[in-house]
Every structure is written in structure tokens, then in C-alpha cells.
Amino acid sequence: MVQIKTPEQIAKMREAGLVVAAIHAATREAAVPGATTKDLDEVARKVIADHGAKSNFLGYGGFPATICTSVNEVVVHGIPDEKTVLKDGDIISIDAGAIVDGWHGDAAYTAFVGTGHAPELIELSRVTEESMWAGIAAMRVGGRLVDISKAIESYIKRQPRPAVGDHSLGKYGIVEDYGGHGIGTEMHMDPHLLNYVSRKRGKGPKLVPGLCLAIEPMVSLGTPHTEVLADDWTVVSTDGTWSSHWEHSVALTEEGPLVLTAVDGGKAKLAELGVTAAPDPLA
């Protein structure tokens, strides 16, 4: 069953979302050459503690850390450790969450470590992030869940990708095995949100006020296929190509979408796309 939130509950989720935004800001600053992914996890732990919040990642299904740190070919669910040292030219996707008074926030971003990144990596992150915003902009009252999936997939497919290594087709790989989800009193709830259109899934539920979703495309420079490593968490692309992951938690209101995990509620970016963001309940 899809959980529908009241305005008061959305306000609590906004509080959790702002903690996640603070984690992003702190870890982005700390993601420098020489830092370990364990260092970034410690940064996230401190932010959560400083805000009086709780981690929704630590212990989830046995996950041993506060954030996911996915470096280069790791798509999602990378486990922070002391052995993984960030190097100049790496990319890292950091997925973070927080709980405030029982309500969850969840968001991810891709960061560039140091300098000297290949243009195709910069473009990969841009395409992934912009496809996420296309999906957010499609979250309109009266629509269907598939409208979001279609907007994400359509944006990615419109973007040309130059040949990289042995991959000469010029197509991005939209990761198939993982997608977005409902969020609220739990981190992962119905409905599951694909980042592409599936005829088998139909149109999905209607988009109504009070629906909250984590919208999160994952895109690789090659294959859409993934495999899980021996630790039962780390997900990598099967062909070793590097990938990007972007995510925001979004609440749909009568006045439009509110990006719970963006500092400005998504106002500036949605305006670029011709969409008016809902007013911030904490403003």
C-alpha cells in the first residue's frame, strides 16, 4: 500500500531532508585525494549526531555504515572502509539518509575527486543529474508513476554519448536492477520506481498530493547490467564501466513538488524547467 502523508508529516520529512543535505555538503567537502571512504563515513556520522537525527542506513539489512560510498565502477551500495583511498580523477557517488522523529530522508550525488576528469565522466554525471530533475518535474498531481520513469528514460536517451574504450554505440546504460521508491516512515516503501518504461509494469499508481518518492537514476558509460560482489552489498557494472548516481526525496503537494533533500526545496532548478516548487513548510 502506498503511504500518503499529511502536510504536517511532510514538514517532518523536510527536517530529515535538510539533515541529508547537510551530510551531502560536508562529505562533498571531505571527498578529496587521500581521504578514505571511512573518513567520509565519519563525517556523515558527526553531521547526523550534531542534528540530533538518526541514521537510516546503519544496520539496515545488516549494512555496516552510515553512508554508501560508490567509487568509479561501483554503481551503488559501496561500503566505506579504510582501504579505499580516493585518488585524483576518481568519481564517487555518496548515498546518505537520516531519520527525524520517525520520518526518513534519502538522497545521493556524484562528486569529482581532485582534477583532471575525462569529459565523458563530467557529462555522465550531468546527464544522470539532469535526468533526475526531469523525473522530478514530471511529478504532477493527476499523472501516473510511469510519467516519471518516462521522463528519466527519455532525457537520457536524447543525450549523445561519445565512444569510450570498446563501447562504440554511444549509448548510456540505464541501470535496470535498481530504481527509486516510496519513502516516509520507512526508507524503502511502495511504489518501486523504474528509471525506464516497462510494459510489464503498466502505468503504476496515480500521483496524488501526499505521495513521497525517492527519485534516483543510476547510469553507466556502458552496460545497464550489474552484479553484486561477495560482500553482498557492493553493486558494480558487469563490464567495469564507471557510473553515476543522483537522488532526491520529493513530496508531491497540491501546489507542486517539494524537493525535501534540496536546500532550496528544488525551487531554482525546477524554475529552469518551467515548474513551480511547492512552498517550504519550514520557511
Name the grid cell of 257: 513538488
Question: Which domains are seen in the chain, by residue range?
Answer: 7-272 (3.90.230.10)
**Tens digit of each residue's pLDDT (9 = 90 or more) over 4-33:** 999 999 999 999 999 999 999 999 999 999
**Tens digit of each residue's pLDDT (9 = 90 or more) over 200-247:** 777 889 999 999 999 999 999 999 999 999 999 999 999 999 999 999
Report the predicted TM-score, pTM, of the whole model to 2 decimal places: 0.96
